[in-house]
């Protein structure tokens, strides 16, 4: 028996990596299938597994899936209850944010942060394309960085294209398993290629011709950095699903709202319409950022569909 980690999944075959040996293509033992999870895939990238190598063909069979530290699911695209586990055992999420080209809205950022809080995975906000922000856009970025650092999120400013501050990113990634997320066009592939040129991921300019809005089933893939650590690439994935967050619990996942919520007059204050709400008070006094409160109410009232 060997132990390894799933680095790629393509339907029902899994590529398993163990130390520095060449990865082995594995099947899963039948009885695992759909047993434990209401998920379309029982094993995901990042899963730690035990497997047996079949002598002749250098293929293997996964015999055990070890307990997950965490996992994220794909936002469900239909009404069925089935979920797709995107990746497991993630140390940190990097959200690439661009102020423009394309615009990353604060609602999008805040929804992502709340999701990550619910999954209990740390997030680093990486502001990319700083080479093109001047005047108004530059001020906007500074404001956002202030908002998010104040509530305790790590922020980094980079230009993947101009190689600015990439050493800082490298230091954050070393020996960790990280997932890099963000809207299409924010520079995820450019960043990963700068960090590890040998990976040669397709950037938007090349791949857009093939990507004409059709629903394409994509699978996550984990790449190893030569400087240590892994990056999980989730091509074409636009957002993570929020597993099991009750509406009344949403404020738990907005750090600064949660921190003040015990001061609300009502024990079960939703911070939307109640009198004596410490959160609304803090927003009026600009202790809590308007954009953050706006995101909270939008998600609570389910008005942010267009940002998904």
Least distance (Å) from Zn ion to the CB of residue 271? 4
CB 124 within 8 A of CB 93: yes
CB closer to Zn ion, 126 vs 279: 279
CB 28 within 8 A of CB 62: yes
CB 206 within 8 A of CB 151: no
Least distance (Å) from ligand GDP to the CB of residue 103? 13
Per rule CB under 6 A, count of chain residues that contact ligand GDP: 18
Of the candidates 57, 64, 37, 49, the one whose C-alpha atom is nearest the C-alpha of residue 8 is 49
Handedness of CA 263, 269, 272, 277 (dihedral sign): negative
CB 180 within 8 A of CB 91: no
Least distance (Å) from ligand GDP to the CB of residue 158? 7
Per rule CB under 5 A, count of chain residues that contact Zn ion: 5
Contact with Zn ion (CB under 5 A) among 74, 157, 271, 292:
271
Give the residue carrying structure tokens 């700083």.
Answer: 130
CB closer to ligand GDP, 175 vs 205: 205
Q: Which residues of 246-270 are buried (b: 16+ CB within 10 A; e: fewer)?
A: eeeebbebbbbbeebbeebeeeebb
Answer left, alpha or beta for residue 152, where phi above 0 means left and psi between -120 and 50 means alpha: left
CB closer to Zn ion, 96 vs 260: 260
Near ligand GDP in 130-159, by CB under 6 A: 131-132, 159
Stretch that binds ligand GDP, among 11-19, 103-111, 128-136, 257-265 (CB under 6 A): 128-136
CB closer to Zn ion, 72 vs 264: 264
User: Per-residue x/- mask for ligand GDP, residues 39 to 68, rule CB under 6 A?
Assistant: ------------------------------
Q: Does 277 bind Zn ion (CB under 5 A)?
A: yes
Query: Could you give the 3-state DSSP secondary structure of residue 11?
Result: coil
Q: Does 169 bind ligand GDP (CB under 6 A)?
A: no
Bridge partners (DSSP) of residue 52 are 61
Contact with ligand GDP (CB under 6 A) among 104, 128, 178, 261:
128
User: Per-residue x/- mask for Zn ion, residues 250 to 269, rule CB under 5 A?
Assistant: --------------x----x
Contact with Zn ion (CB under 5 A) among 73, 93, 123, 279:
279
Q: Kindly report whether the peptide bond that precedes residue 102 is cis, defined as omega within 30 degrees of 0.
A: yes
Question: Vertex 122, ends 158 and 172: CA angle to 5°?
Answer: 40
Q: Phi and psi of 262, rounded to 5°?
A: -70, -15
CB closer to ligand GDP, 207 vs 291: 207
Contact with ligand GDP (CB under 6 A) among 100, 205, 248, 249:
205
State the Rg of the chain over Cα.
Answer: 21
Q: Which residues contribute to the site for Zn ion (CB under 5 A)?
A: 264, 269, 271, 277, 279
Q: Which residues contribute to the site for ligand GDP (CB under 6 A)?
A: 128-129, 131-132, 159-161, 182, 184-190, 203-205
């Amino acid at each position: 028996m060997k132990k390894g980690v799933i680095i790629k999944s393509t339907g029902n075959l899994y590529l398993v990596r163990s130390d520095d040996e060449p990865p082995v293509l594995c099947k899963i033992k039948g009885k695992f299938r759909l047993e434990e999870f209401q998920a379309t895939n029982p094993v995901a990238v990042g899963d730690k597994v035990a497997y047996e190598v079949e002598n002749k063909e250098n293929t293997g069979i996964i015999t055990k899936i070890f307990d997950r530290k965490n996992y994220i699911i794909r936002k469900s695209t239909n009404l069925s209850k089935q979920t797709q586990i995107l990746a497991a055992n993630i140390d940190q999420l990097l959200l690439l944010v661009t102020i423009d080209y394309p615009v990353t809205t604060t609602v999008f950022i805040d929804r992502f942060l709340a999701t990550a809080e619910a999954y209990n995975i740390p997030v680093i906000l990486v502001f990319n394309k700083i080479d093109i922000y001047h005047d108004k856009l530059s001020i906007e970025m500074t404001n956002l960085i202030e908002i998010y650092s104040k509530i305790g999120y790590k922020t980094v400013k980079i230009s993947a294209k101009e190689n600015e501050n990439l050493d800082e990113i490298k230091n954050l990634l070393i020996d960790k398993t990280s997932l890099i997320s963000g809207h299409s066009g924010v520079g995820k592939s450019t960043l990963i290629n700068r960090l590890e040129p040998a990976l040669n991921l397709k950037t938007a300019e090349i791949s857009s011709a093939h990507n004409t809005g059709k629903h394409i089933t994509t699978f996550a893939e984990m790449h190893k950095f030569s400087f240590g650590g892994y990056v999980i690439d989730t091509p074409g994935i636009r957002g993570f699903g929020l597993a099991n967050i009750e509406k009344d619990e949403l404020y738990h996942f907005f750090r600064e709202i949660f921190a003040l919520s015990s001061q609300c007059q009502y024990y079960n204050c939703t911070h939307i319409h109640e009198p004596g709400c410490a959160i609304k008070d803090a927003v009026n006094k600009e202790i809590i950022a308007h954009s953050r409160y706006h995101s909270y109410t939008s998600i609570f009232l389910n008005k942010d569909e267009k940002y998904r």
